[in-house]
């Protein structure tokens, strides 16, 4: 999915992230809290998501408030990741400037040696987020650009359906 956040200055930023779950609370993903997206979410805990299916000519847009998942939820998910992915999360200072790719690979190799006989622990700067939706829009391409758009907005705990002009 595409995750869009914004810096305190209002400058938008978007990137692809892996959706790891949808619950009654919202849409879940995991990342380094010190990454650009993590820093932006700390300063402005709101985001937009876009899911796009070109072959079906459809997309879903979501906006909402973002909260961190609990330590227990982050630990539980981290433990399911392959060891190599856990080591990569530990080795990476995501979104930070590094001297070279070799430095990253050296750090990874160091961690690989350190944890060859055990499970690498979840770094404290890595975990999950939940986007709690307050608006969801479903879009389907229509002939002659007469697209179908349905928007659900949450008002006082109730979802209100509105049809939008293309």
- How many residues belong to the chain? 166
The pair phi, psi for residue 35, each rounded to 5°, is -70, 170
CA distance 124 to 122: 6
153 is catalytic: no
Tokens of 82: 């392959």
User: Residue 100 gets which letter from DSSP?
Assistant: -
What is the number of other CB atoms lying within 10 angstroms of the CB of residue 125?
A: 15
What would the two tokens of residue 33 be? 């809290």
Name residue 44's beta-bridge partners: none
Of 145, 149, 151, 155, which one is the catalytic site residue?
Answer: 145
Question: How far is Cα of residue 116 from the mean position of the Cα atoms in its chain?
Answer: 29
Catalytic residues, which ones?
145
């Amino acid at each position: 999915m595409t995750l869009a956040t914004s810096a305190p200055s209002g400058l938008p930023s978007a990137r692809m992230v892996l959706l790891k779950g949808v619950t009654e609370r919202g849409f879940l993903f995991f990342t380094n809290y010190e990454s650009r997206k993590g820093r932006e979410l700390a300063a402005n805990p709101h985001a937009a998501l876009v899911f796009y299916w070109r072959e079906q000519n459809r997309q879903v847009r979501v906006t909402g408030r973002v909260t961190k998942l609990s330590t227990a939820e982050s630990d539980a998910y981290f433990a399911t990741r392959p060891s190599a992915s856990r080591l990569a999360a530990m080795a990476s200072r995501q979104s930070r400037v590094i001297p070279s790719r070799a430095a990253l690979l050296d750090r990874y190799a160091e961690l690989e040696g350190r944890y060859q006989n055990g499970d690498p622990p979840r770094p404290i700067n890595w975990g999950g987020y939940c986007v709690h939706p307050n608006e969801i829009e479903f879009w389907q391409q229509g002939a002659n650009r007469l697209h179908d758009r349905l928007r659900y907005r949450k008002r006082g705990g109730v979802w209100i359906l509105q049809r939008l002009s293309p």
